[in-house]
Structures are given as C-alpha cells and as structure tokens.
Amino acid sequence: MSQCSSSLVQVSNLELDRMKNYIIYVVSITIRIVFGFMFIALIGNLTSHP
C-alpha cells in the first residue's frame, strides 16, 4: 500500500507541476499579446497625426 500511495503522490505532483507550468505559459502569452497590441496602438496613434 505504501508503494502505491507513494506512486500516486509522485504522479499527482507531476500533474500539478504540469498545470503550474501551463498556467505560467498562458499568462505570459496573454501579457505578450496585450503589450503587443498596446505597442501597435501606440505606434499607430503617434504616426497618424499630421
């Protein structure tokens, strides 16, 4: 029983690490997209004035 529960804990920790890494990835991509559009909007706003 101890061997089985130890294995389950390791699998659970692995899954939690994967979820944490995925969340970090999604947040970083979202931030990059938001800042990218902000930069494009700023450049477009600065260059559109006569």
pLDDT at residue 3, as a whole number = 67
Residue 17 CA: distances (Å) to CA of 3, 23, 26, 30, 47: 21, 10, 14, 20, 45
Mean pLDDT, residues 6-26: 95
One-letter amino acid identity for 20? K
pLDDT class of 47 with cuts at 50, 70, 90: confident
pLDDT value at 50 more than 90: no
Other C-beta atoms closer than 10 Å to the C-beta of 27 total 10
Domain count, the chain: 1
Mean pLDDT of the chain: 90
Range of the domain at 7: 1-50
